[in-house]
Structure 1
């Protein structure tokens, strides 16, 4: 706040050194606002360094956030550790992540514990009960805050005597709840590509009984390895340490180790058995686990040995990809024609516990058509390299850990299907004279990415069998067929494109302004979260929408249907 009112540009390049000094000065201040303020500054500065223009924080570089990391590690409290962890989920920058890791290691060494133990003990409890609800009593009423699986917090307000207005600090509290829940969900999902394991007792105390962690962990499947050699996969129970629910009933283990389960480690019959169990128990998983896509090396990749072309030769929207890649912890890969060599690049994802990094090559699409203003790029091969290996010798694909290979290719599948130019056939028709695009459209519509289509088909088939859809929605080859009142619609399982029959023309569906997709499925999808696959979301939503086309009120959609 200034004499002239609120000012959003108090933090800029001219006073970054002053801000660093102020950050360091907070070491002598013992106030509740210090840690959240340092977290807020670090996140804002990191966002401003991603190549995007943020008016509120035009500071680029890493000096200010680095000062925040160092001060938080020196504060050394549970809350400071949680803050560092939250910051780490907002960036894919390898250097920044190393410095945050270094800060956590300093804290763990000072407290005489392993870094994983420090991280788990830094998870806030938020005052939650076992149902994921916290009661906050204020002078004007009582607020009930409850978690959900969409990174949001629901609040139920019960006003007290008098006016009973909600105090302004409740809004801040809700934001803190949302950030803490999102960070913990991300942390648990990151364990899918981890070697972390717990003793039976530690797992029960930290993962099953921890108020925030248990909200997620008791709905996830865990691999249990008993010291007597017995092993199984099950859901943990709060009834006691070592008690798990399995497809074959209740199992109890006294001594052993627990680690999160990844479906790539099981055969398909066991995975289907676990899916059936989760469905019968009405368990909605907070992350996509039992229905997670699995990718294994094929014969061609094993024969070529050092690289894979499975996701090569695709044309994708670079800006959309770049944003999505940052969300999935891929770094590098920036393309630009502004300098020599900027037309090609490599995007990298690091798996530090396995000593491996995946590298995917990209190149700008060379198109002469000046009307083609979209930034398009083409994809090339992926290789796996040892971390920090200056010899640049690719690792044999046959030797890559299964979970690393599967998660790498799962990301590439998401990038290619979500950012693909083929997801909008109406747009492609405008550039039919561009040979690269017309040839690619012809290729993608005739069998490319069959693995992705098969996995989506299996999930939708399961949901249809379960009765999630009425009889107007069916599978038909590479399409979901929705029979509406005005015609039959075929939704492509790869791109979510919609073709109406008759007369066989494509329909452009912009569903952004329509009713929120999740509202249509309230109470459903108990075992099948799909929040990270936007194309699958679109397929399911469009199937339901077009099967009930007589209820559509959007004029642009109705006009296309009636014209057809």
Structure 2
């Protein structure tokens, strides 16, 4: 009999007063549920309720049979979908019946439920919670956490269930996250003001704290002790984002263990606000900045962990007075790419700028701290008899020591660790802060080409050239001072012939760009940098310049230079955000989206890169679990006026881009490429070239088979070993000067698109664009997957610029293959 047939028989037996028949029918209902391995529409809320509402004389014998079945199951079995589980059935049947077996089953069910991200069906949960609370027993905190998550995750929850869950007020935080567990462990008793404060944090349900919320928080913090609260709050904020202390069984929600607990996100927002109300401290600022970045860390298929927590961190920083908080906001402004949070940071800095009567960029520059540096890139500090030596090299700070005897060592002297632990901890924290700020300032300076930024020479020297931190970057760049190009060497700005330049305080200074210069001058400055051993923080003198081609003059309003590529979508999406482009992930849905867009308000322009999701048939090999395309197909690059209506196209490209016209608006034609300022054209095309160069599947050494169905094999071959793009040509020119200085120079030769490396076993051809390798003379492909370390390491010897990861990969492969008899990697050896 089916479940519904048993239910019908049960109703008939109850109507006839036949207890024995009712017991048999109820037993049949339960056995039908327990034997089902998937959802059955017979099992409705009314079906479950009919078990719960049975007379006690019917429920008891059926419950005893279920208890006997439950006792025979393995102790370590996983919780089945609630509503099909023996323990749930037992709970529905045994309420109000005294039996140790019944209570043990209910306890097992609750603890098992607590290991799940969400509970599949809440009917049994409602019953078990009501049974336990009415009997005066507490619900395990992990179960409470699961019930709360389920209610937040479900679009609809029955009123009765929600009413039951509202009674679960303890603990105020969901257990299972490191910071929440530590917060609960810090409660000393029921009268501890910290407990009252935790309850208050759960009311942080608005975007910003109200005056009333803040007043209550201050009063509770004062009662708990402001200094104690500050130390505790900072310690808790530092633990946000650590691995869960209670890993969850996630089912279909595969990324649940990487997310913030949805219930805890609200009190975490309150915790950030609370930090801004406590006595100011540098550690508080650091912890809030880290909270913003941790909250915006992306989870595959989901996106940022918790933008609302990130925004709370920004709000908290905006309410803290002092240079440290402003500096942290300025650092975040250069690092955050999530649109809503970036917009909030921009608004906060804009408000600060208005209050100070300064420009937005000026506030960012003035906010950069020195982190204890007393001269450009260096500082010393005394800790007892030892001297700490802080120095900046590239975009990294290093800390070394000089003992009382004058000997310089890398390790921390024992006396410093013993006698000055607090000062040592602060010094190490400052080094980490310095590294983060250096990277942020490097990226900010790299974006100034399109920002049309100019400085009076006095401000330029103060905020950039002579600033102890920013100066380590600015002194490695080229500038124009009232039209005269200068670089910094031997303590002064100098021209190409090394003549010192002392500009007037009001002289106009801009960043030098090769697009504005004669090729002979560009070559001369490259020689100057090498002569003075200057390694630039990013490509400037060696920056690729993208000139209009004859083909682009023929097409007129669009460039196909970077069309017909296959890119890894998520890598492209992240890189586009870093470079200031606005983009949305293409999903395998019936929807339209705009192209990737770079807005250039200083020029009144909008650049577009047309892209589409790549899939032959929306197969599993082309789409993530969350429904986004794994790869993109690329198309044209176009320019429009900044205020032109946006273009839209279907996510998978089945419908081409068309301008979306509203309220009777007229279509706006794309601008002729010949009318785009050369610097703008070059920088935009350079960005697009970067997207292709980094995200193309042609760079992936594991894609020799062409990916799903082999349909991209021809593309992989043509890209991985084809003609060099502008970036690769720059790399080749550099290698012409670099290879003769290598230890393996006698084994290396540059030929066309390749670096040839002569090993003992074979001769190898490394493509200068992709880094892919062929074995000569048969051009057999050699798959070498670079490690993240090899891509991050700076190649040996002098380099004129930093940041070319493909160059690092090429050189690491060359070093490996030149000594191919020493290779121990079995994967590589099997191909040789």
* Partner secondary structure for residue 509 of structure 1: coil
Structure 1 residues without counterparts, runs of 5 or longer = 226-230
Counterpart residue number, 2:546: 295
TM-aligned CA deviation for residue 487 of structure 1: 1.5
Q: Distance in 2 between matches of 1:502 and 1:401?
A: 46
Alignment of 1:111 with 2:356, yes or no, is: yes
* Partner secondary structure for residue 429 of structure 1: coil
Structure 1 counterpart of 2:780, from 505, 509, 513? 505
Counterpart residue number, 2:8: none
Alignment of 1:264 with 2:509, yes or no, is: no
Q: Please list the CA deviations of residues 99-145 of structure 1 after superposition, one character each: whole Å capped at 9, or x if unmatched.
A: 32221121111112222222211111111143523334456955433
Alignment of 1:322 with 2:567, yes or no, is: no
**Preserved CA contact (<8 Å) 2:530 2:800:** yes
Structure 2 counterpart of 1:159, from 409, 413, 417? 413
Q: Distance in 2 between matches of 1:104 and 1:302?
A: 42
Alignment of 1:304 with 2:555, yes or no, is: yes
Q: How does 1:152-551 map to 2 (within 5 A)?
A: 153-155=398-400, 156-159=410-413, 161=415, 164=418, 167-225=424-482, 231-236=483-488, 239=491, 243-255=492-504, 256-337=507-588, 339-341=589-591, 346-368=595-617, 372=621, 375-390=630-645, 393=668, 394-424=670-700, 427-429=703-705, 434=710, 436-441=711-716, 443-444=718-719, 447-448=722-723, 450-464=725-739, 470-512=745-787, 518=793, 521=796, 524-529=797-802, 531=803, 533-551=804-822
Higher strand share: 1
From the superposition, tell whether residues 516 and 310 of structure 1 become closer, same or farther in structure 2 (CA, over 3 Å).
Answer: closer
**Preserved CA contact (<8 Å) 1:316 1:421:** yes
Q: Distance in 2 between matches of 1:289 and 1:154?
A: 29
**Preserved CA contact (<8 Å) 2:376 2:472:** yes
TM-aligned CA deviation for residue 274 of structure 1: 0.3
Q: Distance in 1 between matches of 2:758 and 2:771?
A: 16
**Preserved CA contact (<8 Å) 1:361 1:380:** yes
Counterpart residue number, 1:228: none
**Preserved CA contact (<8 Å) 1:432 1:438:** no
Q: Distance in 1 between matches of 2:775 and 2:470?
A: 46
* Partner secondary structure for residue 353 of structure 1: coil
TM-aligned CA deviation for residue 27 of structure 1: 4.5
Q: Distance in 1 between matches of 2:587 and 2:708?
A: 25
Q: Distance in 2 between matches of 1:96 and 1:356?
A: 24
Q: Distance in 2 between matches of 1:2 and 1:516?
A: 40
**Preserved CA contact (<8 Å) 1:136 1:144:** yes
Q: Distance in 2 between matches of 1:49 and 1:511?
A: 24
**Preserved CA contact (<8 Å) 2:395 2:435:** no
* Partner secondary structure for residue 704 of structure 2: helix
Q: How many residues align?
A: 541
Q: Please list the CA deviations of residues 289-313 of structure 1 after superposition, one character each: whole Å capped at 9, or x if unmatched.
A: 1112221222222332322111010
From the superposition, tell whether residues 164 and 18 of structure 1 become closer, same or farther in structure 2 (CA, over 3 Å).
Answer: closer
**Preserved CA contact (<8 Å) 1:73 1:106:** no
Alignment of 1:560 with 2:831, yes or no, is: yes
TM-aligned CA deviation for residue 514 of structure 1: 7.1
Q: Distance in 2 between matches of 1:310 and 1:515?
A: 30
Q: Looking at both structures, which has the greater relative contact order when contacts are Cα pairs under 8 Å and sequence separation is at least 6? A: 1
Q: TM-score, normalised by structure 2?
A: 0.59
From the superposition, tell whether residues 366 and 511 of structure 1 become closer, same or farther in structure 2 (CA, over 3 Å).
Answer: closer
**Preserved CA contact (<8 Å) 1:142 1:160:** no
From the superposition, tell whether residues 540 and 48 of structure 1 become closer, same or farther in structure 2 (CA, over 3 Å).
Answer: closer
From the superposition, tell whether residues 50 and 35 of structure 1 become closer, same or farther in structure 2 (CA, over 3 Å).
Answer: farther
* Partner secondary structure for residue 756 of structure 2: strand
Q: Distance in 1 between matches of 2:719 and 2:673?
A: 26
Structure 2 residues without counterparts, runs of 5 or longer = 1-181, 187-238, 246-259, 401-409, 624-629, 647-658, 660-667
Counterpart residue number, 1:80: 325
Higher helix share: 2
**Preserved CA contact (<8 Å) 1:126 1:134:** no
Moved more, 269-278 or 461-470: 461-470
From the superposition, tell whether residues 468 and 349 of structure 1 become closer, same or farther in structure 2 (CA, over 3 Å).
Answer: farther
Q: Distance in 2 between matches of 1:332 and 1:398?
A: 26
**Preserved CA contact (<8 Å) 1:92 1:331:** no
* Partner secondary structure for residue 212 of structure 1: coil
From the superposition, tell whether residues 313 and 449 of structure 1 become closer, same or farther in structure 2 (CA, over 3 Å).
Answer: farther
**Preserved CA contact (<8 Å) 1:363 1:379:** yes
Q: How does 1:2-81 map to 2 (within 5 A)?
A: 2=183, 8=242, 12-32=261-281, 33-48=283-298, 52=302, 58-59=305-306, 61=307, 63-81=308-326
**Preserved CA contact (<8 Å) 1:153 1:178:** no
Structure with greater Cα Rg: 2
TM-aligned CA deviation for residue 334 of structure 1: 0.5
